[in-house]
């Protein structure tokens, strides 16, 4: 008579180790429609492949196409989303941080990918995050061509996650924007921010904690709760900037918009200095706009010095266009047509003939470029 092998004790499975592949599949099913809505006619294949494909046949019409690439995350703003259990807005922050860096060199975004690391896959939560990414990608006409969700039990708590993304774009070499096209007399046009965007949240969270404010606190100056204000998504600038580049008249070569600066980590002066050439200085008048209430609240709650605040947060300026003086009115009209506040921020001067008035910032982000003199007093709401 044959003898059956003894049954061994149950082994350790992938699920027992903390990874739920079935939950990952459910998350993909929940996000599939939102991702599919970002697909443009250039996309080859659909959702779910090992790699995303995009048809770049149109690049044959370029004389010298340059590919632009950018990658970023949203920092500790994810802690606010996790605390409020609201996850469908953080994706717009990711798209804004990544795709709006592409437009700075004048490049049209071709595609974006995302990556989510989490302690435990909750399908609905992951789908909310990706849905936010997809909706923002659709808003700027950029296909969300691929992504990855990685479950990291033991490294992250079940409710923790972080997000990152990357984008690729293309620009004709002789239409690329940058410091080499900026000239004396160019005018700085500011495009207003929607709020804090996605930078400086370590400072903001520390201030809020120090003040003992809860995220559910109603703040009259905001007209909503503190949490709602802090979670306000980053404004997207890609379409309005492309409109400026594509539809404006060109009164002078090489075009009316000479440079763009995305105001992210480091604040206005540090990021603007990156797109100015050595030997030139931009004067920025702090009184040219009213600082939104959220920034004043952070300053007052934490007794944060203005210099530290303006070296960390955008203070209401999300993007700056450096333009030919003859194109200023046209640039302002394009912004107005996109429902984005815009105003003249200052002007570019020859550094050797300029007498600095206040705080001069240069040599930021490893760039040996121009300088910014940020002067005057802020107007607060």
DSSP letter at 231?
Answer: T
Distance, CA of 112 to CA of 19 (rounded, Å): 26
Residue 368 pLDDT > 90: no
Cα(67)–Cα(166) distance, rounded to whole angstroms? 13
Question: Are the CB atoms for 171 and 108 separated by under 8 Å?
Answer: yes
Query: Residue 371: inside a domain, yes or no?
Result: yes
Distances from the Cα of 63 to the Cαs of 58, 60, 66, 106, 281, in angstroms?
11, 8, 10, 15, 33
Judgement on whether residues 193 and 318 belong to the same structural domain of the protein: yes
- Output the pLDDT for position 50: 79
How far is CA 181 from each of CA 174, 256, 274, rounded to the nearest angstrom? 10, 10, 13
Q: Is residue 235 part of a domain?
A: yes
CB 164 within 8 A of CB 72: yes
Give a yes or no: residue 50 inside a domain: no
Say whether both 145 and 201 belong to one domain: no
Q: Are residues 229 and 303 in the same domain?
A: yes
Please state, in angstroms and as integers, the Cα–Cα distance from residue 334 to each residue in 95, 157, 247, following that order. Answer: 22, 46, 9
- Compute the distance between CA of residue 114 and CA of residue 103 in angstroms, rounded to an integer: 18
DSSP 37: T
**Claim: this prediction has a pTM higher than 0.95:** no
pLDDT over threshold 50, residue 114: yes
Q: Domain limits at 34?
A: 19-41+64-172
Do 352 and 251 share a structural domain?
A: yes
**Final residue belonging to a domain, choices 172, 187, 204:** 172
Task: Label residue 217 by pLDDT band (50, 70, 90).
Answer: very high
- Are 204 and 346 part of one and the same domain? yes
371-375 vs 280-285, strand pairing mode: parallel
Is the same domain home to 327 and 364?
yes
Per DSSP, the residues of 247-312 read HS--SSTT-SEEEEEE--TTHHHHHHHTTS-TTEEEEEEGGGSEEPHHHHHHHHHHT--HHHHHTT
Closest CA to 231 of 206, 252, 256, 204: 204
**Boundary-marking domain end, from 118, 145, 172:** 172
How is residue 269 written in tokens?
């002066």
Residue whose tokens read 């807005």:
89
Hey, what are 152's tokens? 């990291």
State the DSSP H helix or E strand holding residue 129, giving kind and residue range, or none if neither: helix 123-139
Question: Which of 182 and 255 is assigned the larger pLDDT?
Answer: 182
Same structural domain, 81 and 201: no
256-271 burial: b if 16+ Cβ within 10 Å, else e? bbbbbbbbbbbbbbbb
195 with 101, same domain? no
pLDDT tens-digit series, residues 133-169: 999 999 999 999 988 899 999 899 999 999 999 999 9
| Last residue of one domain, picked from the residues 147, 172, 197 | 172
φ/ψ of 74, rounded to 5, equals: -125, 10
For the chain, the domain total comes to 2
Residue 10 forms part of a structural domain: no
When pLDDT is averaged across residues 304-330 and rounded to a whole number, the result is 95
In this structure, the answer to whether residues 154 and 289 fall within a common structural domain is no
> Is residue 74 over pLDDT 70?
yes
**Percent of the chain at pLDDT exceeding 70:** 89
Task: Please say whether the beta carbons of 110 and 169 come within 8 A.
Answer: yes
Residues 332 and 196 reside in one and the same domain = yes
> What is the β-pairing status of strands 108-118 and 144-151?
parallel
Q: What is each CA distance from 189 to 65, 152, 362, in whole angstroms?
A: 28, 44, 20
Are residues 196 and 339 located together in one domain of the fold? yes
Q: What is the pLDDT of residue 365?
A: 77
Can you read off the two tokens belonging to residue 235?
């404004």
Asked, for residue 187, whether it belongs to a domain, the answer is yes
Q: Is residue 9 part of a domain?
A: no
- CATH code for position 130: 3.30.1330.10
Residue 165 counted as domain residue: yes
Q: Which of 234, 249, 235, 232 is nearest to 334 (CA)?
A: 249
Q: State residue 381's pLDDT score.
A: 79
Token look-up 């606010």 returns 80
Q: Which residues lie below 8 Å from residue 310, measured CB to CB, with a gap of 6+?
A: 267, 268, 269, 374
Cα(174)–Cα(320) distance, integer angstroms? 21
Q: What is the band of 367 on the pLDDT scale with cuts at 50, 70, 90?
A: confident
Q: Which residues contact 220 (CB under 8 A, 6 or more apart)?
A: none
318: closest CA among 207, 215, 203, 238? 238
In whole angstroms, what separates CA 291 from the centre of its chain?
Answer: 20
Specify if 168 maps to a domain.
Answer: yes
What is each CA distance from 208 to 89, 193, 195, in whole angstroms? 21, 21, 16
> Same domain for 78 and 123?
yes
CATH number at residue 245: 3.90.650.10
């Amino acid at each position: 008579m044959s003898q059956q092998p003894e049954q061994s004790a149950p082994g350790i499975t992938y699920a027992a180790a903390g990874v739920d592949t079935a939950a990952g599949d459910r998350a993909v099913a929940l996000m599939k429609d939102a991702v599919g809505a970002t697909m443009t006619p250039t996309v080859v294949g659909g959702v779910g492949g090992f790699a995303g494909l995009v048809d770049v046949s149109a690049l044959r019409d370029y004389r010298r196409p340059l590919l632009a690439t950018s990658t970023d995350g949203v920092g500790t703003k994810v802690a606010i989303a996790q605390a409020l259990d609201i996850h469908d807005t953080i994706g717009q922050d990711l798209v804004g941080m990544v795709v709006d860096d592409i437009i700075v060199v004048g490049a049209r975004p071709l595609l974006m990918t995302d990556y989510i690391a989490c302690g435990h896959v909750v399908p609905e939560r992951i789908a909310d995050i990706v849905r936010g990414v997809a909706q923002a990608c659709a808003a700027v006409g950029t296909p969300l061509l691929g992504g990855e969700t990685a479950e990291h039990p033991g490294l992250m708590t079940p409710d923790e996650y972080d997000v990152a993304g990357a984008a690729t774009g293309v620009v004709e070499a002789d239409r690329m924007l940058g410091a080499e096209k900026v000239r004396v007399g160019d005018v700085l046009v500011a495009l207003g921010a929607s709020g804090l965007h996605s930078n400086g949240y370590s400072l903001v969270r520390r201030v809020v904690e120090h003040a003992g404010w809860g995220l559910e606190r109603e703040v009259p100056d905001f007209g909503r709760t503190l949490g709602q204000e802090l979670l306000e998504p980053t404004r997207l600038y890609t379409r309005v900037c492309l409109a400026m580049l594509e539809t404006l008249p060109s009164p002078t070569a090489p075009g009316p918009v000479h440079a763009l600066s995305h105001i992210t980590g480091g604040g206005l002066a540090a990021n603007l200095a990156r797109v100015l050439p050595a030997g030139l200085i931009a004067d920025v008048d702090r009184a040219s706009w009213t600082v939104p209430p959220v920034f004043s609240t952070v300053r007052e709650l934490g007794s944060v010095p203005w210099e530290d605040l303006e070296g960390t947060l955008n203070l209401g300026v999300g993007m700056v266009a450096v333009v030919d003086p003859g194109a200023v009115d046209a640039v302002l009209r394009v912004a107005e047509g996109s429902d984005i506040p815009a105003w003249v921020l200052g002007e570019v001067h020859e550094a050797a003939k300029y007498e600095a008035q206040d705080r001069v910032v240069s040599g930021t982000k490893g760039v040996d470029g121009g300088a910014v003199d940020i002067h005057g007093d802020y107007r607060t709401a």
